[in-house]
């Protein structure tokens, strides 16, 4: 036991559970727990602390424990609730028992970066398998000795892992490792060179394995594709096809997103006659997969599986796949070329029904014929069903039900005794851009309704802060009755607590290059103290040059320019700015593909913005808000209009924290209350948020959205221009309802520090 005491009883319990005396751990413990509590369930917290305790007692100092505590919450964040703790711990214990204990810390340090590239539990397992295999094959196998030497390549591999995964698919990494093991198993130095990517062949093999289109490289294009062409964006999750030898994974979608392979090679269909192949790029193959899934999401409805035999289900799936593809082709005719090129073309008569079950083969031919008008088949039954299929679709979209009936007819009509045979014809029947159709079937027996309740203990309660001023009351708009609820919200304001101003200077330092670039633009925007405006008809002074020119024109009989005066203009910018920060809980989340939380990135962005506005000399204020029901909306002042951007302000910024919910309307009204009192001509209220307005006491989502929309209208009436910078990828669903045209969604949050000042400058130039 240690003597460390935490005020919060839960925190104290967690500390006891961790059972450690490392001072370095104690220093970061509260931060680590804050992060962990934001993403882990109560049960997972215990597993997390248990695992950390075990790692702390391996006798390898503080590093492994620190690495684990710091990495793990991000891993869970990237992989969802179903992380891979057991697999990780099992592997750690294997390393511990082998002579490779030194590699434990490097391994733990790779977890978060690899998880963020891979987004899935299966992929993480594959990663551990690869490392495990590398360790098993390279440990202690130096000629003539027993298993006493650690693997020379293993720690190097962990060093390189984040880079390797940015270049290669999972299968590629596996092959790359395999090559190194096969060739340098017994040469410690050369093995080290290989796995640290020093040797020429390590790089050559890397190049060789770098084929195809990596998911990571086209993720944004695919997102734009789903949004632009189909208006159906979703989370995309890659999987590897290089591991399961028996059952190749197939695309699918569920409530967590759309699953697609982590790499696609270009597809080349040889055309012996034409002499040239048809090529479908890896990117187009991804698009085909996504389009097919979009088709199901748009047009397929689930059916009760219990009513059908497996054969019938298979037939229904083939028919339904072709139905949605025909509808997709109706939307974008060019998709036909892609689908047809990727669809196998089974050879008629290739399957012998005397010896083999041919149902798959028949269905694959039919499927081909249903999407390819130039199919080569002559079987009358096939042709009959092709005709009936198109007759149904000629009337409209048909439906999952209707097409299932047709499929049942088909099964009944073409049934063969041999369909039951164990030997099944598979050649040319796998259509790899189609998903596994799990969404098409409902099973009546099991109904494992998942429940998602927010565990009230899950999140750490913040100590309530001193309420320095009496609350202000604001109305809230009730869109149901189209009336205001008077004095509905109580808002408390106070000064933000302070931290270390040097932290902010450090952040500014970090963005030094960006600041230099911004400076050039800023100098253009900056009002010159006195600007001379020439060519004025009316002005404060005669512009002698021009006047003389005009006189000459006049004397010469030409039409003189009457604009012979000039005047002076001072500071063209008469602008006051208020920056309103959403400080709700979700800001504590880590940004995908980064070590940083949204809050940290916001801090950087806001520091840069403050620096930029300070340079321009516009008076501006920064405030933050969060809420916990209508009775407790908090508004914290970080910078006032009159305050310069000094250490005082920086120290408040450095201490920025996030928690609770987002009752935006009241905060908007309150920020406007101060902004309205400013004497400026132009008033800008910038709102930085990562989600929609919401609060625990408002189950009706629309309510706070409508209220915020109303607040923006009120502000507009007061002459305040409100603009929203939104970090929520799903913002499209509501942000324009609130802010009209005045918003930007920042897709790549990592670029926020750069985008925020740019946006501000664009808005005010």
Partner 1 sequence: MTDKTQYKVHKEPYYQPQGNEVALYEAAYRNRLPVMVKGPTGCGKSRFIEYMAWKLDKPLITVACNEDMTASDLVGRYLLEANGTRWLDGPLTTAARIGAICYLDEIVEARQDTTVVIHPLTDHRRTLPLDKKGELIEAHPDFQLVISYNPGYQSLMKDLKQSTKQRFTGFDFDYPDAQLETTILAKETGLDAATAGKLVKIGQTARNLKGHGLDEGISTRLLVYAATLIKDGVNPVEACQMALVRPITDDADIRETLDHAIDVTFV
Binding positions for partner 1, rule: CB under 8 A: 220-221, 223-225, 227-229, 231, 284, 287, 332-338, 536-537, 550, 554, 557, 559-560, 562, 575, 682-684, 717, 719, 721, 723, 731-732, 735, 740-745, 747, 762-765
Q: Which token pair is 415?
A: 């049934």
Contact 578, 620 (CB under 8 A): yes
Q: Residue 55 or 258: which CB sits closer to partner 1?
A: 258
Q: What's the closest the beta carbon of residue 294 comes to partner 1, in angstroms?
A: 13
Tell me, what DSSP letter sits at residue 673? H
Least gap, CB of 757 to partner 1 (angstroms): 15
Give yes or no for a contact between 634 and 640, defined as CB atoms under 8 angstroms apart.
Answer: no
Residue 51 CA: distances (Å) to CA of 43, 191, 271: 13, 32, 57
272 vs 333, which CB is nearer to partner 1? 333
| CB closer to partner 1, 50 vs 217 | 217
Closer residue to partner 1 in complex, CB, 270/562: 562
Q: Which is nearer to partner 1, 361 or 669 (CB)?
A: 669
Provide CB contacts within 8 A for 279, sequence distance 6+. 266, 267, 268, 269
Distance CA 635, CA 623 (A): 7
Angle, alpha carbons 106-107-112 (nearest 5°): 105
Angle, in degrees to the nearest 10, between helices 153-167 and 170-184: 150
Question: CB neighbours (10 Å) of residue 256?
Answer: 14
Closest approach of Cβ 441 to partner 1, in Å? 30
* Distance in Å, CB of 404 to partner 1, minimum: 28
Least CB distance to partner 1 at residue 428 (A): 25
Bridge partner list, 424 = 357
Task: For the CB of residue 343, give the shortest distance to partner 1 in the complex, in Å.
Answer: 16
Q: List b or e across 75-94, with b for residues whose CB sees 16 or more CB atoms inside 10 angstroms.
A: bbbbbeeebbbebbbebbee
Shortest distance in whole angstroms from residue 220 CB to partner 1? 5
Please, which residue, 88 or 688, has the CB nearer to partner 1? 688
Say whether 276 sits in a helix, a strand or coil.
coil
Q: Whole-number minimum distance, CB 745 to partner 1, in Å?
A: 5
In the complex, minimum distance from the CB of residue 759 to partner 1, in angstroms, rounded to a whole number: 9
Q: Minimum distance between the CB of residue 619 and partner 1, rounded to whole angstroms?
A: 15
CA 58 to chain CA centroid, nearest Å: 36
Beta bridge partners of 533: 567
User: φ and ψ at 64, to 5 degrees?
Assistant: -60, -40
The smaller minimum CB distance to partner 1, of residues 383 and 745, is found at: 745
Q: Would you mind telling me the total number of residues written for the chain in this entry?
A: 765
376 touches 386 (CB < 8 A): no
CB nearer partner 1, residue 254 or residue 553 = 553
- Closer residue to partner 1 (CB): 15 or 723: 723
Nearer CB in complex with partner 1: 131/340: 340
Percent helix, strand and coil across the chain, each rounded to 5? 50, 15, 35
* CA angle 319–322–325, rounded 5-degree value: 155
Which of 418, 395, 396, 392 is CA-nearest to residue 404? 392
Strands (E), 172-230: 213-214
The alpha carbon of 498 is separated from its chain's Cα centroid by a whole number of angstroms, namely 32
Give CA–CA dist 605/600, Å, rounded.
9
C-alpha–C-alpha distance, residues 510 and 522, integer Å: 19
Q: State the nearest-atom distance from the C-beta of 565 to partner 1, in Å.
A: 12
**Which residues touch 366 (CB under 8 Å, ≥6 apart)?**
318, 382, 385, 386, 410
Q: Which is nearer to partner 1, 221 or 390 (CB)?
A: 221
Question: Closest CB to partner 1 among 495 and 533?
Answer: 533
Q: CB of residue 535 vs partner 1: minimum separation in angstroms?
A: 9
Residue 637 has φ and ψ, to the nearest 5°, of: -90, 125
Q: Return the number of the residue (337 or 401) whose C-beta is nearest partner 1.
A: 337
In the complex, what is the shortest distance from the CB of residue 426 to partner 1, in angstroms, rounded to a whole number?
31
Taking the complex as a whole, how short is the minimal distance between the CB of residue 334 and partner 1, in angstroms? 3
Tell which residue, 236, 270, 229, 279, has the closest CA to residue 256. 236
**Taking the complex as a whole, how short is the minimal distance between the CB of residue 260 and partner 1, in angstroms?**
17
Question: What is the C-alpha to C-alpha distance for residues 519 and 522, in angstroms, rounded to an integer?
Answer: 5
- Residue 559 CB, nearest approach to partner 1 (Å): 7
Which residue's CB is nearer to partner 1, number 481 or number 717? 717
Say how far apart CA 625 and CA 662 lie, in whole Å.
8
Say if CB 490 and CB 630 are below 8 A apart: yes
Residue 115 or 685: which CB sits closer to partner 1?
Answer: 685
Q: Which is nearer to partner 1, 575 or 591 (CB)?
A: 575
The Cα 18–Cα 174 span in angstroms is 35
CB nearer to partner 1: give 398 or 550.
550
Supply φ then ψ for residue 143, to 5 degrees: -40, 125
Strand order in the sheet with 682-689: 472-478, 483-495, 633-639, 620-627, 575-582, 682-689, 720-726, 743-745
Quote the tokens at residue 397: 């979209």
Least CB distance to partner 1 at residue 580 (A): 15
* Strand 472-478 relative to strand 483-495, pairing: antiparallel
How would you label 152-168 residue by residue, b for 16+ Cβ within 10 Å and e otherwise?
Answer: bbbbbbbbbbeebbebb
How many other C-beta atoms are found inside a 10 Å radius of the C-beta of residue 598? Answer: 23
């Amino acid at each position: 036991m240690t003597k460390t005491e935490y005020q919060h009883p839960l925190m104290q319990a967690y500390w006891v559970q961790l059972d450690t005396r490392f001072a370095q751990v104690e220093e970061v413990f509260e931060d680590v727990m804050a992060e962990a509590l934001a993403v882990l369930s109560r049960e997972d917290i215990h597993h997390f602390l248990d695992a950390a305790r075990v790692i702390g007692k391996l006798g390898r100092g503080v590093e492994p424990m620190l690495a684990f505590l710091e990495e793990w919450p991000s891993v869970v964040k990237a992989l969802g609730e179903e992380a891979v703790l057991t697999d990780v711990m099992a592997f750690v214990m294997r390393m511990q028992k082998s002579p490779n204990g030194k590699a434990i810390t490097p391994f733990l340090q790779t977890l978060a970066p690899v998880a963020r590239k891979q987004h899935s539990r299966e992929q993480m397992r594959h990663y551990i398998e690869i490392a495990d295999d590398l360790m098993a094959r390279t440990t202690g196998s130096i000629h003539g000795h027993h298993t006493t030497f650690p693997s020379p390549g293993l720690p190097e591999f962990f060093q390189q892992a984040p880079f390797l995964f940015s270049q290669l698919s999972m299968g590629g990494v596996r092959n790359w490792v395999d090559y190194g093991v096969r060739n340098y198993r017994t040469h410690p130095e050369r093995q080290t060179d290989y796995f640290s990517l020093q040797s020429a062949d390590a790089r050559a093999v890397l190049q060789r394995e770098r084929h195809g289109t990596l998911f990571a490289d086209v993720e944004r294009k695919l997102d734009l594709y789903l949004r632009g062409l189909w208006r159906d964006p979703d989370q995309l999750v890659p999987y590897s096809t290089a591991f399961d030898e028996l059952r190749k994974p197939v695309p699918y979608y569920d409530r967590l997103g759309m699953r697609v392979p982590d790499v696609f090679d270009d597809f080349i269909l040889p055309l012996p006659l034409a002499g040239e192949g048809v090529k479908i790029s890896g990117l187009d193959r991804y698009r085909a997969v996504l389009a097919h899934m979009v088709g199901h999401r748009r047009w397929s409805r689930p059916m009760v599986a219990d009513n059908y035999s497996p054969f019938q289900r298979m037939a229904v799936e083939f028919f339904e796949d072709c139905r949605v593809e025909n509808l997709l082709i109706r939307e974008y005719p060019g998709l036909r070329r892609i689908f047809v090129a990727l669809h196998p073309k089974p050879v008629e008569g290739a399957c012998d029904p005397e010896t083999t079950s041919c149902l798959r083969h028949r269905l694959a031919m039919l499927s081909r014929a249903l999407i390819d008008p130039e199919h080569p088949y002559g079987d009358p039954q096939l042709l009959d069903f092709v005709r009936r299929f198109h007759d149904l679709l000629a009337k409209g979209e048909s439906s999952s039900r209707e097409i299932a009936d047709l499929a049942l007819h088909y099964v009944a009509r073409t049934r063969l005794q041999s369909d039951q045979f164990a030997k099944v014809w598979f050649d040319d029947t796998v259509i790899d851009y189609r998903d596994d159709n799990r969404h098409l079937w409902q099973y009546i027996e099991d109904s494992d309704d998942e429940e998602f309740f927010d565990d009230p203990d899950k999140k750490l309660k913040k100590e309530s802060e001193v309420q320095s001023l009496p609350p202000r009351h604001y109305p809230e708009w009730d869109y149901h009755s189209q009336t205001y609820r008077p004095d509905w919200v109580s808002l408390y304001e106070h000064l933000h607590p302070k931290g270390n101003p040097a932290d902010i200077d450090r952040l500014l330092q970090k963005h030094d290059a960006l600041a230099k670039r911004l400076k050039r633009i800023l100098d253009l925007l900056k009002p010159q103290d006195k600007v001379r405006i020439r060519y004025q008809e009316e002005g404060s002074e005669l512009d002698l040059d021009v006047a003389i020119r005009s006189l000459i024109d006049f004397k010469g009989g030409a039409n003189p320019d009457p604009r012979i005066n000039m005047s002076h203009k001072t500071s063209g910018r008469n602008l006051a700015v208020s920056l309103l920060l959403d400080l709700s809980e979700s800001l504590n989340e880590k940004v995908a593909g980064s070590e940083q939380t949204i809050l940290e990135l916001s801090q950087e962005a806001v520091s840069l913005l403050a620096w930029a506005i300070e340079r321009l000399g516009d008076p501006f204020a920064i405030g933050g808000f969060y809420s916990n029901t209508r009775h407790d909306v908090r508004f914290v002042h970080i910078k006032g209009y009159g305050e310069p951007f000094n250490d005082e302000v920086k120290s408040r910024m450095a201490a920025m924290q996030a928690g609770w919910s987002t009752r935006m309307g009241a905060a908007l009204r309150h920020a406007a209350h101060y902004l309205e009192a400013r004497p400026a001509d132009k008033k800008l209220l910038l709102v930085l948020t990562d989600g929609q307005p919401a609060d625990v006491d408002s189950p009706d989502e629309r309510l706070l959205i409508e209220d915020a929309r109303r607040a923006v209208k009120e502000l507009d009436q007061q002459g305040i221009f409100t603009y929203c910078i939104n970090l929520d990828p799903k913002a499209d669903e509501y942000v324009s309802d609130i802010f009209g045209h005045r918003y930007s969604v920042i897709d790549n949050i990592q670029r926020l520090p750069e985008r925020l000042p740019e946006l501000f400058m664009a808005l005010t130039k």
